[in-house]
Amino acid sequence: MKIVVCMKQVPAGTKVDIDPETGTMKRLTSETRTNPYDLFALETALQIREKTGGIVTVLTMGPAQAEAMMKDAYACGADEAVILSDRKFAGADVLSTSYTLYQGIQVLGGADLIICGRQTTDGDTAQVGPAIAEHMHIPHAAWVSGIEEVDKSSICVKQKMGRVTQVSKISFPCLITVDKDSCVPRLPSYLLKKATRDRKVRILGFGDLPNQDLSRYGLIGSPTAVERMFAPPETERQVYLKGDAKEKTDALFRILTDKKII
Amino acid sequence: MEFLTFDAQACTLCGKCVDACPFGALKMEKHGITVGDTCRMCGLCVRQCPERAIHFEQRANEADKEKWKDFLIFVEQEQGMIHPVAFELIGEARKMAAKVGYKVNCVIAGGEGTVKNAHYLLQYGVHKVYAYEHKELEYFRADCYTDVAADCIAATKPSSVLIGATELGRSLAPRLSTRFHTGLTADCTSLDIKANSDMVQIRPAFGGNIMAQIAIAKSRPQFATVRYRVMDKAEKVKEPTGEVVVCQVTDKMAASGIQVLSCEILEKKKGLEEEEIIVVAGRGAQSETGVELCRQLAKTLGGQLAFTRPMVENGYGDTAHQIGLSGRTVRPKLIITCGVSGAIQFTSCMNASECIVAINQNPEAQIFKTAHYCIVDDLYQIVPRLTKLAEKRKEEEKDGLSV
């Protein structure tokens, strides 16, 4: 059983400042952390490995400094860690990011099960997981809130889709994206940390990937482009509604419906 | 066919695509595989190729943009009902379509009743509704739904495809945009269109701390998912002129690696922290009648009733529904405080809410400093009327949805 967990190192905070004159984003805090949703993905993988045996490989695309995150994953129990790192991968949107990760999985010799977190805290798109599944032509289940059953050939997952809860059985190979609260992520263990201190993190660059067509990667391979960034409009505070009780109520109702709050 | 490309390096000339093509459009020539005029862009070869050497290539120049026209809305169904986000997508698409002379079409997929729902969509002023009804499509399965929607997209070549940013939509959209090798903008909160048919897509990023304007200038179709309750619902038209096109669901489309074992509505009791709408009864509501009025309002708005600490101490509610330092911290979309004075122990645990409404008779009440909308008046006057207005609207919406 080969399980690949896709992870991402994200900025530690989500506070962003915009330079009001140039309209560009001021540099984010340089502190990073593991995308919190990915911890649930890693934990899910480790729990499945306890049942079925196999290898858990963590995979990320990003700068070499993602090694710190991979070391943490080792200390949690991951077997292998691979970073896809190359300047040619920079500026990637969903399509080229998912393609690069798919190529990385090919280098690893494929996977029976790929697990992603539901989304990242910086991009917030929740799209990379399903996009990887499409590149690989395998089925996927997103928003998985629990694993009902798993064996060597298939997995049974519970998904929350709007008002309904769906339970599905999917044969391997497949991909799932797991929601938070689907499990309780373990903390890195000191013993494992000591034991894995010398374990290397594998770095793959553009030259290591099977498809050498540059137009599939990074900025060039990205059909979407950010045209500009700007601060969201400030919300008004302390608006006093005027008139008699009826008029005030009607005014409030109109505001709430116009703003689609109710 | 200019939209289908072969990766010559990856292609091993195995010929599987040539055999798979139902239209006989692919030919093995000396220099590789070529695509003939009979290609319908069904995508079977894209899925069949063991080397993944075939893609839909959408790098568009201005001329190619001419070949991708109109809007296509993916209409989601939940438990056999049209998800209301569809009406908002139609409304937004119609506004944009009017600017560039496009039509608005829909694709709907599902089990029994899908064709009936397709007819219902016509009154919202759409041109064509492509309906895929099949018992295997009763439940959402990412692979089947992708095949069905891709079939429609390949046949109709829309300039833009809009999908609701629901769990289903956000699971489906990235597969589709990947299959067509094009761009997707998630969770748009605002959409517009330029004269050259490029959409201007605005979405929040970094947890809503920043807004990004995204363009998909060189690929078609442009995919966007749009949040529910952000856009205006489409107006009904007096004399619908559109038509429903019933499309065939092939065995290939219906085949799936996913087997749905159960699908049910689980009314999980939400904790106060997860609630989107909260009505708070404070000391100003201190009587059974006052609390009951607030409860009615919360119920009508589909939210929960919460209390301030003095109210809980006086036995009106339990601590699981108490907001404040000794209770819960909440940040719902809407919080309506009724007769709450607004002590710091209370406001510090709810001031991150997206919209705060304060109703209090005392114009000096602290709560007004925190509120977005302030009503200095008697809650016994305001709350019942607000409940009535919300009830009336709920009834109207229900009428609008019943098929």
pLDDT, position B401 = 56
Specify the residue for token string 């997981």.
A129
Q: Are B303 and B343 in contact (CB under 8 A)?
A: no
Q: What is the ipTM for the molecules in this complex?
A: 0.91
CA distance A217 to chain B (A): 12
Phi/psi at B333 (nearest 5 deg)? Answer: -70, -35
Contacts of B333 (CB under 8 A, 6+ apart): A261, B276, B277, B353, B354, B355
Phi/psi at B341 (nearest 5 deg)? Answer: -75, -35
In terms of Cα–Cα distance, which of B364, B363, B270 is closest to B321? B270
Total structural domains within chain B = 3
Residue A189 binned pLDDT confidence (cut-offs 50, 70, 90)? very high
Phi/psi at A261 (nearest 5 deg)? Answer: -80, -35
Distance CA B74, CA B130 (A): 10
Contacts of B249 (CB under 8 A, 6+ apart): B132, B133, B134, B136, B137, B148
Q: Can you give the pTM of this predicted structure?
A: 0.85
Residue B283 shares a structural domain with residue B244: no
Q: What is the mean pLDDT of residues A210-235?
A: 86
Distance CA A68, CA B329 (A): 33
Cβ separation A165–B214 shorter than 8 A:
no
Give the chain A residue nearest B54 (alpha carbons): A135
Sign of the four-CA dihedral B220, B174, B72, B4: positive
In a domain, B326, yes or no: yes
Query: What CATH number is given to the structural domain containing A165?
Result: 3.40.50.620
CA distance A195 to chain B (A): 36
Give residue-wise pLDDT tens across range A65-87.
899 999 999 999 999 999 999 98
- Chain B residues closer than 8 Å to A255 by CB: 373
Q: Give the start-end residues of each E strand in B181-315.
A: 184-188, 190-193, 199-205, 210-215, 222-226, 243-247, 258-265, 277-281, 304-307
Residue B106 shares a structural domain with residue B204: yes
Specify the residue for token string 């195995």.
B14
Specify the residue for token string 């019943």.
B402
- Chain B residues closer than 8 Å to A228 by CB: 212-213
pLDDT, position A91 = 85
pLDDT, position B25 = 84
Cβ separation A261–B389 shorter than 8 A:
no
**Residue B160 β-bridge partners:** B71, B222
- Chain B residues closer than 8 Å to A130 by CB: 142, 170-175, 178
DSSP string covering B97-143: HHHHT--EEEEEEESTTHHHHHHHHGGGT-SEEEEEE-GGGSS--HH
Residue B276 shares a structural domain with residue B357: yes
Residue A24 binned pLDDT confidence (cut-offs 50, 70, 90)? low
A218: left (phi over 0), alpha (psi -120 to 50) or beta: left
pLDDT, position B1 = 40
**Average pLDDT over chain A, rounded to whole?**
91
pLDDT, position B403 = 43
Confirm or reject contact between A50 and chain B (CB < 8 A). no
Cβ separation A167–B368 shorter than 8 A:
no
Distance CA B169, CA B109 (A): 12
Residue B303 shares a structural domain with residue B385: yes
DSSP string covering A168-209: EEEESSEEEEE-TTSS-PPPPPHHHHHHTTTPPPEEE-GGGS
Contacts of A139 (CB under 8 A, 6+ apart): A133, A170, A171, A174, A175, B141, B142, B143, B256, B257, B258
Helices and strands per DSSP (H, E), number in chain B? 13, 22
Which parts of chain B sit beneath pLDDT 50? 1, 402-403
Residue B127 shares a structural domain with residue B166: yes
Contacts of A3 (CB under 8 A, 6+ apart): A45, A48, A49, A54, A55, A56, A57, A111, A112, A113, A114, A115
Domain that holds residue B348: 272-402
Distance CA B29, CA B8 (A): 13
Q: Is residue A208's pLDDT more than 70?
A: yes
In a domain, B155, yes or no: yes
Residue B116 shares a structural domain with residue B249: yes
Residue B50 shares a structural domain with residue B78: no
Q: Is residue A25's pLDDT more than 80?
A: no
In a domain, A261, yes or no: no
In a domain, A141, yes or no: yes
Cβ separation B258–A168 shorter than 8 A:
yes
The alpha carbon of A44 is separated from its chain's Cα centroid by a whole number of angstroms, namely 14
Return the C-alpha torsion angle B35, B38, B43, B44, nearest 10: -90
Specify the residue for token string 């290898």.
A55
In terms of Cα–Cα distance, which of A177, A30, A31, A161 is closest to A101? A177
Task: State the first-to-last Cα distance of chain B, in angstroms, to the nearest integer.
Answer: 42
Residue A190 has which token pair? 């000191």
Contacts of B113 (CB under 8 A, 6+ apart): B80, B133
Give residue-wise pLDDT tens across range A98-150.
999 999 999 999 999 999 999 988 878 899 999 999 999 999 999 999 999 99
In a domain, B263, yes or no: no
Distance CA A123, CA B142 (A): 22
**What angle is formed at CA A59 by the lines to CA A53 and CA A61, rounded to 5 degrees?**
175
In a domain, A257, yes or no: no
In a domain, A256, yes or no: no
Q: Which of B29, B56, B83 is the last residue of a domain?
A: B56
Q: Are B237 and B124 in contact (CB under 8 A)?
A: yes
In a domain, B49, yes or no: yes
pLDDT, position B60 = 65
Total structural domains within chain A = 1
pLDDT, position A16 = 64
The alpha carbon of A21 is separated from its chain's Cα centroid by a whole number of angstroms, namely 32
Query: What CATH number is given to the structural domain containing B19?
Result: 3.30.70.20
In a domain, B266, yes or no: no
Query: What CATH number is given to the structural domain containing B118?
Result: 3.40.50.620
How many residue contacts between A and B have a Cβ separation below 8 Å?
Answer: 251
Residue A197 binned pLDDT confidence (cut-offs 50, 70, 90)? very high
Q: Which of B56, B73, B99 is the last residue of a domain?
A: B56
Sign of the four-CA dihedral B281, B283, B285, B286: positive
- Give the amino acid at B158: P
pLDDT, position A19 = 63
Give the gyration radius of chain A's Cα atoms. Answer: 22
B208: left (phi over 0), alpha (psi -120 to 50) or beta: left
Residue B377 shares a structural domain with residue B245: no
CA distance B206 to chain A (A): 5
Cβ separation B371–A238 shorter than 8 A:
yes
Cβ separation A224–B184 shorter than 8 A:
yes
Cβ separation A232–B209 shorter than 8 A:
yes
In a domain, A153, yes or no: yes
Residue B24 shares a structural domain with residue B73: no
Domain that holds residue A88: 2-235
Residue B48 shares a structural domain with residue B185: no
Residue B225 shares a structural domain with residue B281: no
In a domain, B393, yes or no: yes
Residue B143 shares a structural domain with residue B232: yes
Cβ separation B386–A253 shorter than 8 A:
yes
Residues in A 162-191 with any Cβ partner in B closer than 8 A: 162-171, 174
